[in-house]
């Protein structure tokens, strides 16, 4: 666990963060709880864990090591922004999983649920491939999604109204490597 302010500055390249929102121990404890809940939720059948890149990769890595059952892992890369700073509302898969989805339990792992535009489109695309079941596990939920799909089953933390970085979350590709989640604002 990080306690010394100079250690935080060292890890952030000297760029200060307002506060550490979730420290390493808190995250590890919650990931362990999520792993146990997922293990219980999927007692049988083929489980495919799909990570939505890039933000979910650290969370997914820790999470799958806490799931006590056989599983497979693959990834998705989706974009709804293109060259714009706001979502176009049109979601394109830039990398489609190579693993066959039909008849499997599919769990999509997401870093943050915000408006849900990308998530709803991905759920529609994945549903069309005839999985046995489809669920979502998200590290953070901003709580702003107006119509929540029933597939959202596992949430790590409610996200505060802040610009969060670390543990896979970035700002201009920086800060993903931090072992904690911090408020950059």
**Where in the sequence numbering do the catalytic residues fall?**
114
Give how far the C-alpha of residue 98 lies from the chain's centroid of Cα atoms, to the nearest Å: 20
Distance CA 93, CA 83 (A): 15
In the block, tokens 């489609």 appear at 96
Among candidate residues 45, 110, 117, 53, the one with its CA nearest the CA of residue 80 = 117
CA-nearest of 129, 114, 166 to 50 is: 129
Residue 173 main-chain phi, psi, to 5 deg: 70, 0
CB 155 within 8 A of CB 141: yes
Query: Residue 123 and residue 49: Cα distance in Å, rounded?
Result: 14
Cα separation, 110 vs 127, in Å, equals 17
């Amino acid at each position: 666990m990080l306690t010394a302010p100079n250690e935080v500055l060292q890890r952030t390249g000297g760029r200060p963060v307002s506060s550490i929102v979730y420290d390493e121990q808190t995250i590890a404890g919650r990931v362990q709880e999520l792993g146990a809940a997922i293990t219980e939720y999927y007692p049988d059948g083929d489980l495919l864990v799909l990570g939505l890149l890039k933000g979910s990769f650290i969370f997914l890595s820790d999470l799958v090591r806490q799931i006590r059952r056989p599983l497979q892992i693959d990834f998705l890369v989706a974009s709804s922004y293109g060259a714009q700073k706001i979502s176009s509302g049109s979601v394109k898969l830039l990398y489609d999983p190579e693993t066959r989805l039909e008849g499997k339990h599919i769990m999509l792992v997401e870093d943050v649920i915000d408006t849900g535009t990308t998530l709803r489109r991905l759920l529609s695309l994945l549903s069309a491939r005839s999985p046995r079941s489809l669920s979502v596990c998200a590290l953070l939920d901003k709580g702003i999604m107006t119509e929540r799909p029933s597939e959202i089953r596992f949430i790590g933390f409610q996200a505060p109204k802040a610009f969060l970085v670390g543990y896979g979350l970035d700002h201009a590709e920086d800060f993903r490597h931090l072992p904690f989640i911090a408020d950059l604002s």
